[in-house]
Each structure stands twice: as structure tokens, then as C-alpha cells.
Amino acid sequence: MVQQQFLEVLDRDEAEARWHAVIAPAALEPEVVPLADALGRVLAEDVRAEVDVPGFDRSNMDGFAVRALDTYGAMEEKPVRLRLNAEVLPTGVIPAVEVVDGSATTIATGGMLPRGADAVVPVEQTDIEDGGATVVARRPVVPGENISFAGTDIGAGETVLFAGTRLTSRDTGVLAAIGAAEVAVVRRPRVAVISTGDEVAQPGAPMRPGLVFDSNGRIIADAVRELGGDPWFLGSYPDDEDAIRGAVERALADADMVLLSGGTSKGEGDLNSRVVGALTPGIVVHGVALKPGKPICLAAQGTTPVVVLPGFPTSAVFTFHEFVAPVIRRMAGEGEAHRESVRARLAVKTNSERGRLEYLLVGLVEVPDGELAAYPMGKGSGSVTSFSRADGFIRIERNVELLDEDTEVEVHLIGRQLPLADLVVIGSHCVGLDLIASELSREGLRVKVLAVGSQGGLAAARRGECDAAPIHLLDPATDTYNEPFLDPSLRLLPGYRRMQGVVTRSGDEREVTALLDDPEVRMVNRNRGSGTRILIDQLLEGRRPPGYAYEPRSHFAVAAAVAQGRADWGVTIETVARQAGLRFIPLRPEHYDLAVPAGRWDRPAVQALRRVLDRPSLRARLEAIGFASPDPPEAS
């Protein structure tokens, strides 16, 4: 028998495309596991917090809850004396007494901040006088000092982890903080691993000349586990067609993927390809223009992937990582691997076989000028140690026959990846941004989001520290959002429209003017530098109502302050207000856009961001939670 499939040697990308068209790799169905078993698993769904963290305005130290304004001017020589309220606030106690002008309340670390207070004076900076009736503050504090506002760490309704995230101990800590006892994760793909060949002996078995210990089975099974799969090693089988067929049938009955190693040549004795060729549809590709790994066999039973890897260890490992690993990662719910690379100079002249994409293993050494030199690990595809000892590999394209000494090459590192983000987003946070980041995360991109406000994001973008800065800045002079704040170094990427408005508790039917005119009504402000703060200051027209110095940094924290009664009104977006059950008075729609450094506009991650923003399915999800598409550009 002659293996006719091997006569058609395909380009690497064409081979993969043909195989994927048959197996249609996708994430497996989710399963729910206890939080204690979630470490290392991949999230199947976004996780949203159902509580604020912290759940209340919390003191960060032992001391006295005060109005910061009452401490201004305090110093050792001229301290400020405040009337000490009778109430004492240890942890777990809900305050009953408001801190009013000239008063203070004793509070413990972790205690709930009472209404009216906006800062805590540390106990070591105070004295008690008048038999406990007066507290003496020897230094001033500013609003927000020594307290953590409710919802500033995590806001109820905020997406804390995105689908596709492989959970680390830091992630499980976040899940514990929001009270998640169990979590939906992607089921691990069960991958059957079968070694074949008369010459193969299992480690620990007697050795004789002509035999080799089975390293492929161990390497492949553990590589499956590293990728998030569940390896099922069925052992090794001699060159017996019936025995191999029985092993494959057993594997197909209870596995999501079947991997064999050994016997992928084009000779008549290739029993593995005979067995696999009898499947339906059977062999899709047998032979790829790749070195090492040309004889790989890609097949399927239905949509279940079946692969016969080369017998030589280096060939088996390379073809596993080139063709099998991406499918396992996708089945396990993860995106494609992003391998770190460094630039180096080739230490010796290297020949390559024209017509095949070659992966050349190299070792890296540092040369005196600080650059790196790459030395080929020329032990051949039968080497067991080459892959484990190499620092990385270079790709030699199929039309290249020679790389001269001192040629600059890109070295893709093996096992030395740094956890770098693909897309860094710094600026104003929004639940709509969570949806965008989730969409990118599902595509395998690592997205880092830092919430620093619109102005902070613009500054980061101008310094080139991020790929995109979400902003919603209103220019009072032109009554225009965002565009007036850009300079030639930045480009505007339209995001969406969202409604800003005043929120009060349900049942409070007062209009905005009544709220502003009532001196007993307390507001919750927003941090300076945020887009919402600009709108608030425009609304107040120079007024400084009670609570003006109370400046949480998120829409969630504003909603929490009003809902929990620490403030009577504030400004937030409609989506957060509705979620918190608050009354919402619309003020104006605002433009939530992204400023992108011009030099990063065509980076792959930014291109992915632009594609996602144009995706109708994402637009539908945004509109479902109240975020409208940007206005179409005006006709010129």
C-alpha cells in the first residue's frame, strides 16, 4: 500500500485551514465548579459583581471621622478642637449619628463612615480633653483622606473577570471578595495520547539495543496538561494494525481529541495512517512543507480531531505546538498563544532547504556590546534535548536557502513569555468598556484596563503609555465632546453615546433646581479630572453644596453613596442608575470615545479594537444596556 495523501505536500497555512474546516475547533461546553477547584481553569462567562467592594465608606485606620473642612489650619501650636459624639464605631456597626459642623465620631479601622464625614484623623494625631467630650486634632486632613469609598474597588454590576481568563490565585481572590462560591468554567478537553512502534518501551521497562524509551508520550501528555487539557495516556502499542485500531476506537469513544505518535512516513508500513484513513472523513492532510515535521497527518472522525505526529521527538513537539496546541487552547476556552520574541544576530551561517518553512532551534548568549547572539541547536529532529535546552527558535521562510552569519533574526522564546497585555487601555471606565474588553478577551487578546479618569487617560496617551484612552470631556467653550482636547499626536476612535443625569433615591421626586437650592441636601461629587466632574461644575455654576468635597472615582461609587443614604443626589450614567434602582433625571447625552496615539493606530491590537467596535453584535449588546452608536459623520 502506498500513502497517496502524502504525495500532496501542502503549505503550512493551507494545511491548517483544510483541517480546521473539518474539525471547526471551538470552546467546549461550560461546567460549574466550586471556587476551591477553580484555580487554573478558564472562565466560560464574564463574572459580574453583585456587591460593592468595599460595601460602604470604610475607615482605613483608628481615629476620628470628621468633616475635613473643620480641620483646616490645625497644627501642633494651634490645634483644632471638635465636639466628640457619644457614638463609637467599631467594625460591623451601622452609624446612627451624623457628623455635623464642629463634631467628630470615634471610629475603628474598617468601621463604616457616618453620614456627614468625609475624612478620618488618625488617633496618633489627636488628644482627648474635657473628660472625653472633646477631641483635639493637631494636623489637618483633606476630603477622602484615610478612607476607602464604597464601590471604588469593585462596583455592583461591574465586570471583574472576563470570559477566557485562566484563573490565577489573584483572580480567585477577587471571586472570593465578591462572594462567588462557584464559577462557570470551560470543560477541559480530554485528549487521548497513544504511542506506537515496535521499538518503543515505556520508562522503567527493560532496555535492549534497538529500543527507545517513550519520551513522546510523556512530552505530549504533559504539554496537553500545560495547555489546560486533560491528558489520557493509553500507553504504547506495537506495530500491529488491529491493536492500534482498537486503541483508536477506545479513545474516540471517550475523548475530545486523539493523538498518536510514530509511523507517519509514506511507506507501506505506516499502520497509523491506515487506521486513521479508515475513519470518516479520515485523513485531511498528510504532509506539510515544514521542517521539522513534514510527515504530520491531520485527520478527523466526524469533527473530533485525530492527529498522527512524527515519531522523532523534536518533530513531534514542533508539530504539536504548531497544529495541535492552538486547537486544544481553543477547546479549553483560551485564545492563541502570544510568544515573546527578541532580536538577535545569527552566530553562524545557516543553510535551509528551499520549499519548506523551517523552525530552527537556537540558544542565546549575550555578547559584549549587550546584544544577543543566536547559536543553532543543530542536533536534528531526532534529538530529545534540543527543544528542552533551546532558548527559542527562528522561522526561516520557505523561499530562503541561506542565512549569513551576523544576520539579524527574530527569536521566538520558548517558555519564557512575559504576561504582557496586548492592549493597554487607560482612561475613564464604563460598563460599556467592559463589553468591548470582553469581546477582545474572547478573541484571545490580553486587555489591561486602568481607570484614571478622562484627563489622566489623555495624558497617558500623549506619553505613549497606552493604546487607547477612553474619554468623555465636554469643552464648555464649544459645547463639544472630546475633539477639542486632542492634539496632532492623537486620533479619535468613536465609541458610543451614553446619558448622564442626576440620581436620587426612589421616591424623592424633587427636580434638580430644588435639590441645588436646599441647604440640607447632600451631594456626592466626582473626582477632578473626570469628564463627569466637568458636567457637574457646569451644573453647579459656582455653588458648593454640602458634599461637594466628597469625590469618589466611579459611577458605581456615586450610585452606592445615594442608594445607601450617605448622599442625597449625584451625577452618574443611566445604565448604572437603573441597575442601582435609583431615580434618574437626564441631563444630556455624552460622547464616550477613545483617544488613540497616532503611532499606534495600525498596531494589531488596536486594529482588533477598531474591528470589534464596528461589529454589529457588539453594537447590539451595547444598545441593550443603554449605549447608543455614535452619530454618523456629516456629509461633506
Q: What are the tens digits of pLDDT across the range 114-139? A: 999 999 999 999 999 999 999 999 99
Helix (H) or strand (E) holding 257, with range, is: strand 257-261
Cα dist. 447→49, 512, 618 in Å?
19, 39, 17
pLDDT-derived band at 383, boundaries 50, 70, 90? low
Cα dist. 5→10, 99, 116, 295, 398 in Å?
10, 83, 79, 10, 21
Mean pLDDT of 148-155: 88
Q: Any idea which fold 30-53+153-186 has?
A: Molybdopterin biosynthesis moea protein, domain 2 (3.90.105)
**Per-residue confidence (pLDDT) for residue 420, from 0 to 100:** 56
71 alpha-carbon distance from chain centroid: 43
pLDDT digits (tens, 9 = 90+) for 198-222: 788 788 888 887 777 877 888 899 8
d(CA 149, CA 547): 13
pLDDT-derived band at 268, boundaries 50, 70, 90? very low
Q: First CA to last CA across the chain, in angstroms?
A: 70
pLDDT-derived band at 5, boundaries 50, 70, 90? very low
- On the question of a cis peptide bond just before residue 292, with omega within 30 degrees of 0, the verdict is yes
Highest-scoring range by mean pLDDT, 12-16, 93-97, 344-348: 93-97
Cell of 563: 442608594
**pLDDT at 266 exceeding the cut of 50:** no
Question: What does the DSSP assignment read for 258-315?
Answer: EEEES--SSSTT-HHHHHHHTSSEEEEEE-BSEETTTT-EEEEETTEEEEEE-SSHHH
d(CA 95, CA 92): 10
Mean pLDDT check: name the lowest of 46-55, 399-408, 512-521, 591-600: 399-408
Residue with cell 469643552: 475
Mean pLDDT check: name the lowest of 111-125, 127-141, 285-299, 535-549: 285-299
In this structure, are residues 571 and 558 in contact, taking their beta carbons and an 8 Å threshold?
A: yes
Encoded amino acid at 533, one letter: R
Higher confidence at residue 552 or residue 348? 552
d(CA 54, CA 113): 12
**Per-residue confidence (pLDDT) for residue 249, from 0 to 100:** 95
d(CA 438, CA 163): 7
Compute the residue count for the chain.
636
CATH number listed for the domain at residues 4-27+188-331:
3.40.980.10
Q: Any idea which fold 423-624 has?
A: D-Maltodextrin-Binding Protein; domain 2 (3.40.190)
**Per-residue confidence (pLDDT) for residue 172, from 0 to 100:** 94
**Per-residue confidence (pLDDT) for residue 608, from 0 to 100:** 96
pLDDT-derived band at 636, boundaries 50, 70, 90? very low
Q: What are phi and psi of 200, to 5 degrees?
A: -90, 130
**Per-residue confidence (pLDDT) for residue 298, from 0 to 100:** 93
237 alpha-carbon distance from chain centroid: 42
In this structure, are residues 571 and 587 in contact, taking their beta carbons and an 8 Å threshold?
A: yes
Mean pLDDT of 408-437: 80
Higher confidence at residue 635 or residue 563? 563
pLDDT-derived band at 4, boundaries 50, 70, 90? very low
Cell of 328: 486544544
Mean pLDDT of 352-359: 77
Beta-sheet strands, E only, within 398-543: 402-403, 408-413, 423-427, 447-451, 469-471, 474-475, 480-481, 490-504, 523-524
Second CATH level (architecture) for the domain 341-413? Beta Barrel (2.40)
**pLDDT at 169 exceeding the cut of 90:** yes
Q: How many helices (H) and strands (E) does the chain have?
A: 16, 37
d(CA 401, CA 398): 8
pLDDT-derived band at 347, boundaries 50, 70, 90? confident
**pLDDT at 377 exceeding the cut of 50:** yes
Question: How many C-beta atoms lie closer than 10 Å to residue 477's C-beta?
Answer: 7
Encoded amino acid at 617, one letter: S
**pTM of the full predicted structure?**
0.71
**Per-residue confidence (pLDDT) for residue 594, from 0 to 100:** 97
Mean pLDDT of 560-588: 93
Residue with cell 471583574: 160
**Per-residue confidence (pLDDT) for residue 633, from 0 to 100:** 46
Query: In terms of Cα–Cα distance, which of 305, 313, 309 is closest to 265?
Result: 309
Q: Where are the chain's structural domains?
A: 4-27+188-331, 30-53+153-186, 58-148, 341-413, 423-624
d(CA 46, CA 542): 42
Within 8 A by CB and 6+ apart from 293, the residues are 310, 315, 316, 318, 319, 322, 381
Residue with cell 497513544: 194
Helix (H) or strand (E) holding 454, with range, is: helix 453-462
Mean pLDDT of 536-564: 91
Second CATH level (architecture) for the domain 58-148? Beta Complex (2.170)
Within 8 A by CB and 6+ apart from 362, the residues are 344, 374, 375, 376, 377, 390, 391, 392, 393, 394, 411
Higher confidence at residue 337 or residue 132? 132
Helix axes 431-442, 604-613, angle to 10 degrees: 120
Mean pLDDT check: name the lowest of 149-163, 376-390, 603-617, 618-632: 376-390
**pLDDT at 2 exceeding the cut of 60:** no
